[in-house]
Amino acid sequence: MAALQTVALFILTALAEIIGCYLPYLWLRKGHSIWLLAPAALSLALFAWLLTLHPTASGRVYAAYGGVYIGMALLWLWAVDGVRPSASDWIGVGLCLAGMLVIMFGPRSA
């Protein structure tokens, strides 16, 4: 159960970061309202706070989080940008997620 909670927390963290970066992108590149920066800042603050909720060392959390972020970014690419990821994209995500699992749940010496 703890492993599932950890992965769910990583997913929420990734969504907060992606949204926090996507909203300024909409303003800067797509000409949307500057007011998008307010929810973007809140989303990035949420992202930083969510990273603090993990009970393990911060460096390990950041390293493992990267694997989940990559997977969420490809899902975002597909769902929001309308670009279907390639087979090599999915293979890369699989490798990253395998690395995340090893980092977060591998055996530790005392």
Q: Is residue 110 part of a domain?
A: no
Q: Is residue 88 part of a domain?
A: yes
Q: Is residue 55 part of a domain?
A: yes
pLDDT tier at 1, thresholds 50, 70, 90: low
pTM of this prediction? 0.86
| Helical H segments across 31-105, by residue range | 37-51, 58-79, 87-105
Residues 106, 67 contacting (CB under 8 angstroms): no
Q: Is residue 85 part of a domain?
A: yes
Model confidence pLDDT, tens digit, residues 62-101? 888 888 899 999 999 999 999 999 999 999 999 999 998 8
Model confidence pLDDT, tens digit, residues 27-37? 999 999 999 99
Domain membership of residue 58 as a residue range = 2-105
SS3 label, residue 35: helix
CA distances from residue 25 to 35, 36, 84, 95, 99 in whole angstroms, order as listed: 12, 9, 20, 28, 29
pLDDT (0 to 100) of residue 65: 86
> What's the number of domains the chain is made of?
1
Hey, how many other C-beta atoms are within 10 angstroms of the C-beta on 90?
12
